[in-house]
């Protein structure tokens, strides 16, 4: 799923034929895609073994995985008015611009795409809202067997519901078919550590529930770019579950991938010929993680471009929060855009993607996100 052409972007320079043609091309792509799509895709969890992705040679079931329903599960729907999409309110819009406000409600408005992924009602990982029925997270949080998955979104507190909270059951759990949980060495081998949750019902957008934008296929994140990681911390730290009751945030610097790979070779003594950090991973420099420890729990790495926030990565693995010199490793979201698009639309991209210059500045309109 790519950031598409919003009303404001198309209308900024109506006299420019190139921009008009680009917008037309994008709209044609959207129109010929089936927004409702198919329920089936590679990576859908096997009903024979709910905790293991389908192997490439296996015959996956034709029916999508419908998770067991929990009778005690209730859904708290927000009563806030739904925000009407306009040229300013596209995906990636933060509803709290005052950075001096740090109270729980302000943090929930600042990061309205933050999702708590829950197994049998207990927080297990962070997730990120990318469309009205879709949450993106890491695959290793979705391998529990015989559990009821749900998500909590729009809540200033992770352990209690409010008027703005929505607790929504998960209809379908999808993990990337190439993810191998036990590949290589213990904490190494988290390649393709990405998963999607399709919700049982459509979310209504408001100041506390809002989708983030996804960067383009050929999006390039420069070294030393300042981005932000948000979330609640590790699922369990010193007996506390999770680490924080409210959303936390921390700025981090993007690290050169080769430097990150060199570090982990020195740290782990793994032979140099084995690549640890591949092109589908990204590292961030964060020298103090003991207070806010988020190393394996799916927290989103987001970057702001001209006021619009993009999901660049999700926390995948690392050497441990006490190893301050060891950079956290994130799944690099731009590398999985084709995979995400196929799942959300039921078919691959029908045209070549627009140029990177267009992709990184045109966010996806909420009218399209709401249809996914």
Q: 196 by DSSP, 3-state: which? A: strand
DSSP H or E segment with residue 300:
strand 300-305
Inside any domain, residue 32: no
Inside any domain, residue 65: yes
Query: CA torsion, points 146, 151, 156, 159, in degrees to nearest 10?
Result: -10
Residues 233 and 195 in one domain: no
Residues 136 and 237 in one domain: no
Whole-Å CA distances, 49 to 144, 182, 326: 10, 16, 35
Inside any domain, residue 323: yes
pLDDT at 72: 36
Residues 261 and 294 in one domain: yes
Rounded distance between C-alpha atoms, residue 334 and residue 221, angstroms? 10
Residues 189 and 101 in one domain: yes
Inside any domain, residue 281: yes
Residues 166 and 298 in one domain: no
Whole-Å CA distances, 184 to 193, 270, 337: 14, 10, 26
Which of 326, 238, 343, 246 lies closest to 288 in space, CA to CA? 326
Residues 93 and 197 in one domain: yes
Number of CB atoms found within 10 A of residue 371's CB: 14
Q: What is the CATH number of the domain that holds 269?
A: 2.40.10.10
Whole-Å CA distances, 274 to 178, 270, 294, 326, 355: 18, 7, 26, 18, 33
pLDDT at 145: 83
Which of 229, 213, 209, 242 lies closest to 108 in space, CA to CA? 209
Whole-Å CA distances, 79 to 107, 153, 166, 233, 349: 19, 13, 10, 28, 37
pLDDT at 62: 34
pLDDT at 325: 79
Q: Phi/psi of residue 160, each to 5°?
A: -155, 155
- Owner of token pair 């129109």: 31
Number of CB atoms found within 10 A of residue 86's CB: 12
Inside any domain, residue 29: no
pLDDT at 104: 85
Inside any domain, residue 199: yes
Region of 23 please: left (phi>0), alpha (psi -120 to 50) or beta: alpha
Residues 233 and 329 in one domain: yes
Inside any domain, residue 93: yes
Rounded distance between C-alpha atoms, residue 48 and residue 58, angstroms? 11
- Owner of token pair 């591949």: 278
Rounded distance between C-alpha atoms, residue 368 and residue 80, angstroms? 21
Rounded distance between C-alpha atoms, residue 343 and residue 197, angstroms? 10
Residues 300 and 163 in one domain: no
Which of 174, 211, 176, 193 lies closest to 302 in space, CA to CA? 211
Write a three-state SS string for 60-76.
Answer: CCCCCCCCCCCCCCCCC
DSSP state of 319: S
Inside any domain, residue 216: no
Count of H-run helices and E-run strands, the chain: 7, 12
> DSSP string spanning 275-296?
-SS-TTEEEEE-S--SSS--TT
Residues 69 and 192 in one domain: yes
Domain range holding 250?
226-334
Tens of pLDDT, residue by residue, the chain (372 residues): 433 333 333 333 334 444 443 343 333 333 333 333 333 333 332 222 223 333 333 333 333 333 333 333 334 444 444 444 443 468 998 888 777 777 888 889 999 999 999 999 999 999 999 999 999 999 989 988 889 999 999 998 888 898 999 999 999 999 998 888 765 555 565 789 999 999 999 999 999 999 999 988 777 788 889 999 999 887 666 666 677 888 989 899 999 988 888 888 888 777 777 788 888 999 998 876 667 777 668 999 999 988 899 999 999 988 777 777 788 899 999 999 989 988 987 644 333 333 343 344 345 555 555 556
Residues 235 and 181 in one domain: no
Residues 178 and 264 in one domain: no
Rounded distance between C-alpha atoms, residue 142 and residue 74, angstroms? 21
Question: How many domains are there within the chain?
Answer: 2
Residues 175 and 318 in one domain: no
Cis peptide before 251 (omega within 30 of 0): no
């Amino acid at each position: 799923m790519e950031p598409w052409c919003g009303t404001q972007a198309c209308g900024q320079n109506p006299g420019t034929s190139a921009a008009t043609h680009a917008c037309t091309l994008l709209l044609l792509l959207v129109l010929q895609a089936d927004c409702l799509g198919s329920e089936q895709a590679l990576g859908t969890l096997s009903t024979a073994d709910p905790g293991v992705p389908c192997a490439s040679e296996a015959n996956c079931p034709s029916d999508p995985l419908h998770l067991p329903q929990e009778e005690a599960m209730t859904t708290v729907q927000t009563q806030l008015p739904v925000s009407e999409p306009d040229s300013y309110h596209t995906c990636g819009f933060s509803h709290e611009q005052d950075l001096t406000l740090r109270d729980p409600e302000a943090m929930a408005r600042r990061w309205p795409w933050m999702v708590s992924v829950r197994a049998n009602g207990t927080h297990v990982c962070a997730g990120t809202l990318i469309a009205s029925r879709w949450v993106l997270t890491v695959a290793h949080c979705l391998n529990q067997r015989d559990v009821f998955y749900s998500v909590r979104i729009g809540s200033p507190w992770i352990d209690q519901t409010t008027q703005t909270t929505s607790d929504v059951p998960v209809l379908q759990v999808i993990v990337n078919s190439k993810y191998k949980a036990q590949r290589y060495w213990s904490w190494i081998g988290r390649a393709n550590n990405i998963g999607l949750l399709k919700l049982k019902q459509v979310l209504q957008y408001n100041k506390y529930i809002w989708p983030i934008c996804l960067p383009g296929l050929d999006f390039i994140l420069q070294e030393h770019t300042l981005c932000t990681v948000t979330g609640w911390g590790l699922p369990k730290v010193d007996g506390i579950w999770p680490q924080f009751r409210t959303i936390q945030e921390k700025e981090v610097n993007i690290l050169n991938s080769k430097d990150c790979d060199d570090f982990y070779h020195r740290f782990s003594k793994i032979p140099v010929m084995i690549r640890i950090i591949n092109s589908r991973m990204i590292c961030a420099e964060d020298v103090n993680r003991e207070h806010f420890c988020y190393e394996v729990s799916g927290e989103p790495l987001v970057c702001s471009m001209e006021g619009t926030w993009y999901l660049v990565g999700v926390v995948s693995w690392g050497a441990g929060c006490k190893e301050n010199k060891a950079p956290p490793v994130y799944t690099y979201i731009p590398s999985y855009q084709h995979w995400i698009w196929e799942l959300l639309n039921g078919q691959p991209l029908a045209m070549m993607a627009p140029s990177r210059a267009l992709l990184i500045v045109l966010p996806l309109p909420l009218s399209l996100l709401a249809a996914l």
